[in-house]
Amino acid sequence: MLNGISINYYILLSAVLFIIGAVGVMARRNSIIIFMCIELMLNAVNLMLVSFSTLHNDAKGQVFVFFIMAVAAAEVAVGLAILSMIYRNIKNIDTDLLSNLKN
């Protein structure tokens, strides 16, 4: 079903994409790029779900991807709204400037 390519390569590819996203979330300071990295993580999962779905010959995995896409859109909408609110208040979206909460 997977055109002769072993499932391990699909797992590896999505794991690599996922790790790039995760490292990006932790390392980058621009909020927009952090959101992009989160999207990358979710899309890595989508890739894996679709390939497993094909492997098992079972459509449930693909339906799950629909749910992830819809939820990711909602999450990003909320995230960008919060971000535009922050921009109005401090005129910047660098995460280093967001450190007002401490003991």
Q: Are 20 and 40 in contact (CB under 8 A)?
A: yes
User: How crowded is residue 14: how many other Cβ atoms within 10 Å of its Cβ?
Assistant: 21
The contact mask relative to another protein for 45-84 (x = CB under 8 A, - = no) is x--xx--x--xx-xxxx-xx-xxxxxx-xxxxxxxxxxxx
Among positions 23, 32, 89, 94, the unique one binding another protein when judged by CB under 8 A: 89
Q: Does 23 help bind another protein (rule: CB under 8 A)?
A: no
Task: Return d(Cα 4, Cα 34) in angstroms, integer.
Answer: 35
Q: Of 38, 48, 41, 40, whose CA–CA distance to 13 is shortest?
A: 48
Residue numbers of the site for another protein (CB under 8 A)? 3-5, 7, 11, 14, 18, 21-22, 25, 31, 34, 38, 41-42, 44-45, 48-49, 52, 55-56, 58-61, 63-64, 66-71, 73-87, 89-90, 98-103
